[in-house]
Amino acid sequence: MQIPEFTQQHGQQLSAYLASRNGAMTLVQSQGYLFAVICSPEPLDVHEWLERIVPDTHDQLEEQTLFALMALYHQISEQVYETGFKLPVSLQVSDQDDSYLDLHECQQWCQGFVQGAQVYINKLMQADALTADLTDTLQTAYASLGFFALEPQLITTIAQQNQLSEIQLSQQQYELMGDFALGFAELIEIIAVQSGLYADEEDGWS
């Protein structure tokens, strides 16, 4: 089928639809989840990731919703592999109030990312063939991209341990997220091959 370009209208329609479905991810969670799925060395079938985003639809999604989700997947995939990935979320801070910090969007994106990435990250981390440097790099990338999925109290503790305000820590982590997101698919591809668990694009996990 011809996949349409993902538009702002698609985003609004999809956001409203997902909010109406019990147990569904939010639009922002879906964006983080699909980013992780697209970077995976073991691509999911369309029906699998649709079921994770909108559970219990039994492949009965309305055509309009299906097209919007496919367009979102295509947009993220195009950014990851062609044009350069840009985080679809931002830190909400105030110029007037230096204590104001809203991490809600970042939390949701990171929650979706962790849900999509944790299975293959765990497999790769356990691969005996990986060098310590690659394991450390993978761990750092995963921790950075999933940072805001941590409990708020833990983020507060990390900020205190590093003698930073929560805003300073969050701004640093947000910048790291953007940096790691740009090269994450390439990093996963390199590590997947080095791990010995994954031969090439056609073979999948051995």
Tens of pLDDT, residue by residue over 159-200, are 999 999 998 999 999 999 999 999 999 999 999 999 988 765
pLDDT-derived band at 93 (thresholds 50, 70, 90) equals confident
What average pLDDT does the structure give for the chain?
90
Name residues whose C-beta falls within 8 Å of residue 186's C-beta, 6 or more positions apart in sequence.
none
For residues 89-105, average pLDDT = 75
Q: What is the CA radius of gyration of the chain?
A: 18
pLDDT at 4: 77
pLDDT at 60: 77
For the stretch 9-44, pLDDT in tens is 999 999 999 999 989 999 999 999 999 999 999 888
Name residues whose C-beta falls within 8 Å of residue 60's C-beta, 6 or more positions apart in sequence.
none
pLDDT-derived band at 73 (thresholds 50, 70, 90) equals very high
pLDDT-derived band at 204 (thresholds 50, 70, 90) equals very low
- Altogether, the residues listed in the chain come to a count of 206
For residues 67-78, average pLDDT = 95
User: Is 51 exposed, middle or buried (CB count within 10 Å of its CB: 0-12, 13-18, 19+)?
Assistant: middle
pTM for the whole thing? 0.91
Residue 53 pLDDT more than 60? yes
Amino acid of residue 25 = M
Distance CA 58, CA 195 (A): 35
pLDDT at 94: 64
pLDDT-derived band at 61 (thresholds 50, 70, 90) equals confident
- 62 vs 95 pLDDT, higher one: 62
- 204 vs 111 pLDDT, higher one: 111
Query: 163 and 15 in contact (C-beta within 8 Å)?
Result: no
Distance CA 115, CA 162 (A): 28
Amino acid of residue 106 = C
Query: 197 and 158 in contact (C-beta within 8 Å)?
Result: no
pLDDT-derived band at 155 (thresholds 50, 70, 90) equals very high
